[in-house]
Amino acid sequence: MNDSERQELIKAAIDVKNNAYAPYSGYYVGAALLTDDGTVFTGTNVENSSFPVGVCAERSAFAAAVSKGHRKFKAICVTGTRNNNPLIGNDYCMPCGMCRQFMTEFCDGDFEIISAKSAEDFQVYTLSTLMPGAFMLFGTML
């Protein structure tokens, strides 16, 4: 993945974060997912008054992409802001454990996970470093 792809992904994640539905936690999360053919899908967290029903931004992005027929992915960027207040600024938002497992279904260990505060301030991980020894029922995606 090159620098311009990474910058495009970071921008998409920061932009979509404004659409987060997070009235309960006040933590707005945006995710942008890059497929192997260069398409970008975005997602936000969507909370629910029955708290466990809510979904994370990463899984929304994956669901959007998979439902359009995509199964191979290069990278995801995640960004989060408390109370969506630009004065507070973005966090290095890390994917939760459930999302790491969700990614494992579709992504190899070298799948890139970018946690971005801004276009200039971000950290890059791989799925294998964030999800070592992941559970796979048959050892590979079906």
The set of catalytic residues is 58
CB of 78 to ligand THU, least distance (A): 6
Minimum distance from residue 106 beta carbon to ligand THU (Å)? 16
Interaction site with ligand THU (CB under 6 A): 22, 25, 27, 29, 45, 47, 54, 56-58, 78, 93, 95-96, 99
Q: Which residues of 103-122 are buried (b: 16+ CB within 10 A; e: fewer)?
A: bbebbeeebbbbbbbeeeeb
Nearer to ligand THU, 58 or 112 (CB): 58
- Smallest gap from residue 46 Cβ to ligand THU (A): 8
